[in-house]
Structure 1
């Protein structure tokens, strides 16, 4: 009697194994190709320079990514360069992202900087970025028409980020901006150090951002070193 009971229990257990296997092999929920973000920040800094006259900004973004890694999207922010237009920046971009190796991600993008109401400043920029071993980044950007001035400009940046316990991330960047014509802009360096904390879909970031002496001499208050606090909600 005991032997029959054990055999019956074993058969029931074995019969359940395929069901367990199927449950474990069920495909993960497919990720949406749409990605959005909303950011509120105390100062919109672009390559070390304030684009809002050291004032706050609200920045929405939307991106659609295809299964092969090609993406297209838009991003916007209020800006303040002084009296009159523009009051807004509305960028449009298209790019291609791929994992070239387990330790290397590459991203190539064309970004169109648009300033409604001041079309004379609209221009395209070509940006390449490599992420190495998830923690290190190298970026190169080039335009042959910066600020629609028919002038070449280059930007080089290196960065490092590291995850910490309790969903904290520390990061640092250093960049160099160069202009082919000194009458359009003065070459300078920028840098930043930041600490971020994730709260579910939201990330709170505190950053100290600034430029070198050339940047401060050429661009004044908007190039001064300052703390910037931002919060981003994204899917």
Structure 2
């Protein structure tokens, strides 16, 4: 059986792996996803962005990310499954005066809905001629049918593009009611390496103690 799902989210900050992609401001995000019974899936997400470069006339204001993937059950009881995915990040303008569209390739390993391990590799991160990696683990636990706690820890290996690597983590509480969910989350990141001088002006500051609230409506 094939399925189509969509979700619209409003969030107080668009956080991407330890730094803000909306200049610590509100963001509206949408995602449309198609899943085939064979395991093939595809979709696209979109969000407004602000990289703090509005003084450039052609600065990007929208991020659009189409993706294509395949999921495979590793066990007959459906406890373990693996995903491989390609995502293309596209921007309607430039980031600090440079074209920044890029590909990223992901491997996900899931255990039920309790654990997700993710590894992501970009062959040309933000179109800056550098290979980067991102590695993340997420734990989830349902307190009730309507309430879930979750936490993620990740390491973003992007020193060659964004001057240093990031260690980041978050923890939060998500409430569900029918097709609506509300998420309150604490996030923080740290410089994991000494700064490496790059030729690009984009140098996102790591997250200090930050609380983000998100409200989503899905179908």
The reply on whether 1:115 has 2:91 as its aligned counterpart is yes
Matches within 5 A, 1:90-101: 90-101=64-75
In structure 2, C-alpha distance between the alignment counterparts of 1:214 and 1:223, rounded to whole Å: 13
Q: Which residue of 2 aligns with 1:225?
A: 209
2:29 matched residue in structure 1: 59
Gaps of 5+ in 1: 1-30
Q: Report the CA distance between 1:210 and its aligned residue.
A: 1.1
Match of 1:186 in 2: 164
Matches of 1:195 and 1:93 in 2, distance apart?
A: 27
Larger Rg: 1 or 2? 1
Instruction: Assess if the C-alpha contact under 8 Å between 1:164 and 1:170 holds in 2.
Output: yes
Displacement, 1:219? 3.3
> Counterpart in 2 of 1:173?
152
**Deviations 1:70-89, CA, capped at 9 Å, x for gaps:** 11111000000121410010
Does the 8 Å CA contact 2:18/2:166 hold for their aligned counterparts?
no
Q: What is the 5 A alignment of 1:6-85?
A: 33-82=3-52, 83=54, 84=56, 85=59
Q: Aligned equivalents of 1:104 and 1:61: distance in 2? A: 25
Who is 1:199 aligned against? 177
- Give the direction of change, closer, same or farther, for the CA distance of 1:184–1:55 in structure 2 (3 Å limit): closer
Aligned counterparts of 1:44 and 1:94: Cα–Cα separation in 2: 22
| TM-score normalised by L of structure 1 | 0.81
1:131 aligns with 2:110: yes
Change over 3 Å in CA distance of 1:147–1:168 after alignment to 2? same
TM-score when normalising by structure 2: 0.86
Moved over 4 A (4+): none
User: Corresponding residue for 2:131?
Assistant: 152
Match of 2:190 among 212, 215, 223: 212
**RMSD (Å), alpha carbons:** 1.9
Partner of 2:200: none
- Cα distance in 1 between the residues matched to 2:176 and 2:162: 40
Whole-angstrom distance in 2 between the partners of 1:191 and 1:170: 14
Quote the offset at 1:209 in angstroms.
Answer: 0.8
Aligned pair count reads 202
